[in-house]
Structure 1
Amino acid sequence: MIEQNASASIPQDIADDSDIASEQPDISRRRWLLPLSETGVGRNANTSTDVVEEPIAEIAELSAEQHLANAIRQCSKDGELLAISTLYDAPYSLTEEDIVQLKTALKSDEFIDIAHLSLNGEDYFYSDEFMSDNFAQLQLLNRHADICTAIAGVVRFECETYPRPLKQSMLMSEPFHYTASEIEDALTLMKTHPDFQDIQQVLASNDAPYLFSNTLMSYGKARGLTEWIEVEQHENP
């Protein structure tokens, strides 16, 4: 389980360099990330016979895929997905072949925490040590969908995955941060749109609103779970 900036960049402590002209890739950084012409994916860059400057030699102690995995983990710590398309741009300027090799290398057991999602032909990576699968799905929805599609997506995800209805106020929290008025306006539009007719609202006895998909959960089940989550579990610990 959306349109904001659709790519998380390599962390600033790695990627920030104001002196790099956008049209001129930084060759040393490309070597840092993927020195395919010298060592290739999966080989330690220390095997190169080339003599390089000390800072590059220190960076090159890890393989290209290890550096990429660490960048993905850092993005996950910051609550972001890393879009592989980021690596096509300066300062890295990797080729399609480079990235295919990297993606293949990340499937090894060494990188078991690295997971990925795809949407609209784009691959996004995250570390499940620092970001839950649920949050990653929400981030993806939040990047690529309008508010109505995003709300419907997360409601269906909750009903299908857990299953449970979604507390409406959760849409005001990360990663969405919608306002109450934005949510109400979206729900009003969704009532008349054919793509969202399964999204329904149910109220607990304390009037807290929850949302569910009636194609994935009956009204009775949604009503019962809403009452339990919102009221009964606190009365009967």
Structure 2
Amino acid sequence: MKEIDIKGLENDIDKEINKQDILLEQNMVDENNNSIYEQEDKISLMGDLVRLKSSEGKLTNGEDFFEDPIALEVEDILPSIEELKVREEYGDIYTIKGASSIYLFSDKYITYNYAQMMVRVEEKDLISLIAETVRHESKTYPRPTDVRLFSYNPFNFTKEQFSDVLTQLKTKKEYEDIKETRASNAALYLYSDKFMVKAHAVSLAEWIEVEHDQNP
């Protein structure tokens, strides 16, 4: 009977075990690398989507990332948005937290103030939309706001809608700083008396509507 080389057999077994361990380790490394690459690729896709939609004058809702090809899970949305925000190559991308969702935009295409207005439109926060727009113009420029502004993007109010919202606004104590003035041609303007005195608002509305054309 042929004698079995026990020691040689043990060595062969050890070599095979080592080989399997190495393969297992390599597979784990490959899986980790693939996972990291996939995550990085999704972050890039998120950034590209935000820029594309911003270039079209649209906000990106966080829920848009549920859809293909990004297809994030619910629990991955906020961490992925945070990762996007800290990437240096996406420094143009900002977020605004609404009452019901989080919105993203690129300031290469949309200003922060305009994005805020768009969020209020998205969330149907129409009273605040009018009041904050008027306050912004009264404080920043300063000037009274021509109510015809609200018939254009991003507002798109009909006359009836605007009239209804303005009526509601007048009943809210938190918006009591929003005042009306009319030029001599009856054009309606709004202003905030937190930032503009009545006389200034009245004179500017008259100049814009009447005197500007008379004295070009």
Q: Structure 1 length as normaliser, TM-score?
A: 0.66
Q: Classify 1:124/1:196 alpha carbon distance in 2 versus 1 (closer, same or farther; 3 Å).
A: same
Verify the 8 A CA contact 1:36 1:98 in the aligned structure 2.
no
Aligned residue identity for 2:34: E
In structure 2, C-alpha distance between the alignment counterparts of 1:179 and 1:98, rounded to whole Å: 36
In structure 2, C-alpha distance between the alignment counterparts of 1:137 and 1:102, rounded to whole Å: 18
Q: Displacement, 1:159?
A: 1.9
Q: Displacement, 1:124?
A: 0.9
SS of the aligned residue for 1:210 comes to strand
Does structure 1 residue 183 correspond to structure 2 residue 179? no
Does structure 1 residue 82 correspond to structure 2 residue 92? no
Verify the 8 A CA contact 2:126 2:165 in the aligned structure 1.
yes
Query: Which segments of 5 or more consecutive residues in structure 1 lack a partner in the other structure?
Result: 1-34, 46-59
Verify the 8 A CA contact 2:47 2:84 in the aligned structure 1.
no
Q: Which residue of 1 aligns with 2:22?
A: none
Aligned residue identity for 1:81: L
In structure 2, C-alpha distance between the alignment counterparts of 1:236 and 1:161, rounded to whole Å: 25
Q: Which residue of 2 aligns with 1:156?
A: 135
Query: Which segments of 5 or more consecutive residues in structure 2 lack a partner in the other structure?
Result: 1-30
Q: Classify 1:98/1:147 alpha carbon distance in 2 versus 1 (closer, same or farther; 3 Å).
A: closer
Q: Classify 1:111/1:235 alpha carbon distance in 2 versus 1 (closer, same or farther; 3 Å).
A: farther
Does structure 1 residue 169 correspond to structure 2 residue 148? yes
Q: Structure 2 length as normaliser, TM-score?
A: 0.71
Verify the 8 A CA contact 1:205 1:231 in the aligned structure 2.
yes
The aligned length equals 184
In structure 2, C-alpha distance between the alignment counterparts of 1:36 and 1:126, rounded to whole Å: 31
In structure 2, C-alpha distance between the alignment counterparts of 1:140 and 1:38, rounded to whole Å: 36
Q: Displacement, 1:188?
A: 2.7
Comparing 115-124 and 208-217, the one that deviates more: 115-124
Alignment counterpart, residue 119 of structure 1, candidates 80, 98, 114: 98
Q: Displacement, 1:189?
A: 3.1
Q: Displacement, 1:222?
A: 1.5
Q: Displacement, 1:140?
A: 0.8
Following superposition of structure 1 onto structure 2, how do residues 16-165 of structure 1 map, counting pairs within 5 Å? 38-40=34-36, 63-87=41-65, 89-91=66-68, 92-97=71-76, 99-120=78-99, 122-165=101-144
Identity percentage of aligned residues: 29
The structure with the largest alpha-carbon Rg is 2
- The answer to which structure, 1 or 2, has the higher relative contact order (CA under 8 A, 6+ apart) is 1
Does structure 1 residue 195 correspond to structure 2 residue 174? yes
Large movers: runs of 4+ above 6 Å:
none
Verify the 8 A CA contact 1:141 1:153 in the aligned structure 2.
no
Greater helix share, structure number: 2
Aligned residue identity for 1:194: K
